[in-house]
Structure 1
């Protein structure tokens, strides 16, 4: 895998570039997961038959690129990539993952058409019972789970969603492409992973998570409620605003 665009290999020789390329490939492919310890400098010096200065320069560039974290006296470790999303935007997680330089993969875990429960009606803010589609999905960055998605779609507002399996298509981009939305609401909170979320994100039960919940409406009708759960440290929310005009 080429490191072009991932690290700045300026002024280095072939061994320097090879170290950059080898370590970048292991990180971006998911072979080395976040938290994995990079071999110590003396181990890399012996492995590549080069000077410690060459190894140090390569590791410094990897740290500058945000791929690794160097800790004094402890060594270097694969850094958990942090994505950024604007709080007031409805974004595609695929674009978010690809912006990190990682391959994206989507997986549908469950799909159920049913008559709305009391909890469904509360989440969607429905006045009366009606048909809904419940989906559970996972989004991957490389080989690691990136986000867990739990979504309800109001089939009275989007009846065509009832015929869509969402096996190969994520429901978020599908809805954006099929249903114009007129209003949206975000709620953001911290939570501890329960057993279901821990298994889906491959983290320990009780680990801290960032939860982003969103409702959207179209033509005054509730369209969808979605809950995205991220492992803490993997996602950053960004808001940019200007002074209000009186």
Structure 2
């Protein structure tokens, strides 16, 4: 089993690349992910509520970190503004990645709140959205993905309170850039504040490191394929995940 620092560094490789050879910033990111790791090590990762508790902890930690960092950004840049408003959904046709524990949390809520007919219809829609995942693989599927999220209803998210960190972390300062990206089918990126946009990666890395202690795979997943797998067999998928197996839709390297 890899030690915590090795897992964190591996997860944060893309983040380190963004900030070049600035080792002091690299260490700051390591420390933040390490704090996340130590926080969730207090939790029992083997119980029936493990995924829900880990995901809820991740969301709370993310919100605290993101809000604190955003305040610092605003203090340094008086012109900083966000263009995101209620009812705006240009980003909701993007490929969403999430931690497996987030997927289990969402699936658990859906199983408890939807009737059999509605759940069956939703599963059909999710399956259609992820139909070519096995052919294209994680990266190919993500690069080509462009379709409205199945949880988008009249430009509103119906799972907003438990939405993935990737959705929480999306923050635009220019609505026109969002429109351009949408019209290009996400081939044109929306400019982002790098410090804000890596906050989810710090939580990912910390929770992944904590799960590695128990041999549980914490690598990110493609939203629709992994959700289809879990909704199709929640108990079986959960048992496989706790035993260290890679789920369909989960990044393997």
Q: TM-score, normalised by structure 2?
A: 0.26
Q: Determine which structure has the larger helix proportion and give its number.
A: 2
Name the one with the larger strand percent.
1
Structure whose alpha-carbon radius of gyration is higher? 1
Q: Which has the higher contact order (CA 8 A, sep 6+)?
A: 2
